[in-house]
Structure 1
Amino acid sequence: MIQYPSGKKVNSKQKSLGITSRRGMSLEEDINKTNEAYLFKDRAVVHKKPTPIQIVNVDYPSRNKAKITEAYFRHASTTDYQGVYQGYALDFEAKETKNKTLFPLASLHEHQLNHIKAVKRHGAIAFLIIRFNALDETYLIFAEDLIKHINQDDVRSLSIQWIRSVGYEVSGTYQVPCDYIMIIDDYIKRSSYDK
């Protein structure tokens, strides 16, 4: 590890990739930029799902200056991202936390967890990407590990120790800041995953 004057440690792999910090970039921005790179390279097709809203009132001062003044969520959204990679359906949720020691499960809504369980049951590769902003660490946790852990006990949070032991740290580059497909590749190779 190299200690920089800011006090932020950077490992040699990050240094060789030119990554010293993701501060200022949200997880969603990183995933969106990554998905654009995957699409451009014809590696995967993954998109952020729009939040379903009902527009109630629009102010039309002029044709090109229409402004939505009132809108409501139609219903609870499911997960953030959906796509396809080498014939496999992908479905995942992305969450961030400022906490250094745990991820509170209250941040993952019940309808989102139910959706993850349902798409997994129907054959999709389902997972959760969690970023610990204070630690500058991002992890991918597969649905089966998450569901098994939640079903074992009355779990209200995921400890950083559990996430580090079960999850996969997501690395990246400037062009692909959250390269989760590398982890999906490994998952497909080591499992007897059927399409």
Structure 2
Amino acid sequence: MAIRYPNGKSYVGGEKEQKQKKLPADAYSGRGMTLEQDLDETNLYYLSRHKAVIHKKPTPVQIVKVDYPKRSAAVIREAYFKQASTTDYNGVYNGRYLDFEAKETKNKTSFPLKNIHDHQIEHMRNVRAQKGICFVLIRFFVSKEVFLLDASHIIAYYDQQNTRKSIKKTDIERLGHLVHTGFHPRIDYLETVERIYFQSSIKGEKLDGR
């Protein structure tokens, strides 16, 4: 079956998986894991311990060609990955709705704003308007650091794209919060969420999702 991305390029799963297997053991967080894999395992850890129910939203697929070799079965011959209309993850924690995007950059000193899209910013605005907790997890590939940056900061920088093309890492360190990484869970972002949205304050003022 041919699966294509929105830009028309083919998706070749086997080749991608082979390349991932060839990565050195310390390529991702010291364990050869992608950011998505780390978060998937983290969310399973949270779910198994009844801490939160958080899932990755599936990428929508548009089917364009189907064969029917027999009445009881249909075979998809061609499909396209559609561009997701929201962020990567959502769920419920401690009675509050959580919604967040996860991004990784190989840039050592900044996070390119081109990694965030218009529809994601619009979605973040809508979540905040409903008082949901919304943020972006940013992992710097080289240093293996993960930061939680509230959506309000991402939106503010995105609105300045005429003059800014990226967010400096020093600004992310100043405005965001370093997330603890380990083995179980791999990326303990809920500890950071609890600390900054429920208990203590960010720069002297607790965030409430508005």
Aligned-CA RMSD value: 2.6
Please give the per-residue CA displacement for 1:112-163, whole angstroms capped at 9, x wherever unaligned. 1111111011111000001111111111101122223444673221111111
**Cross-structure match for 1:49:** 57
SS of the residue 1:172 aligns to: coil
Contact conserved, 1:51 with 1:77, CA < 8 A, in 2? no
Query: 1:162 aligns to what?
Result: 171
- The answer as to whether partners of 2:134 and 2:209 remain within 8 angstroms in 1 is no
User: Relative to structure 1, is the Cα distance of residues 180 and 123 closer, same or farther in structure 2, using a 3 angstrom cutoff?
Assistant: same
1:193 aligns to what? 208
Structure 1: runs of 5 or more not aligned: 1-19
Q: 1:169 offset after TM fit, Å?
A: 1.0
SS of equivalent to 1:113: helix
Establish whether residue 113 from structure 1 lines up as the match of residue 121 from structure 2.
Answer: yes
Question: When the two structures are superposed, what TM-score results if normalisation uses the length of structure 2?
Answer: 0.74
**Secondary structure of 1:181's aligned partner:** helix
Give the letter aligned to residue 168 of structure 1. H
Q: Give the counterpart letter for 1:179 in structure 2.
A: D
Could you tell me which runs of 5 or more consecutive residues in structure 2 were left unpaired when the two chains were aligned.
Answer: 1-27, 201-205
Structure 1-normalised TM-score? 0.79
Mapped to 1, the partners of 2:207 and 2:110 lie a distance apart of 31
Q: Deviations over 1:57-97 (max 9, x none)?
A: 246789xx986431124554310000000110000000111
SS at match of 2:124: helix
The answer to whether structure 1 residue 181 and structure 2 residue 196 are counterparts is no
Match in the other structure for 2:99 = 91
Q: 1:80 to 1:70 in 2, by over 3 A?
A: same
Number of residues of Structure 1 aligned to a counterpart in Structure 2: 175
Q: Specify the SS of the correspondent of 2:172.
A: helix
Partner of 2:132: 124
Report the equivalent of 2:34: 26
Aligned partners of 1:167 and 1:157: how far apart in 2?
A: 15
Identity %: 45
Instruction: Provide the secondary structure at the position in 1 that maps to 2:184.
Output: coil
Residue identity matched to 2:103 = K
Q: Bigger shift: 117-126 or 152-161?
A: 152-161
Query: Are the structure 2 counterparts of residues 70 and 179 from structure 1 closer, same or farther at C-alpha, using a change threshold of 3 Å?
Result: same
Q: Does the C-alpha gap of structure 1 residues 60 and 127 become closer, same or farther in structure 2, counting only changes over 3 Å?
A: same
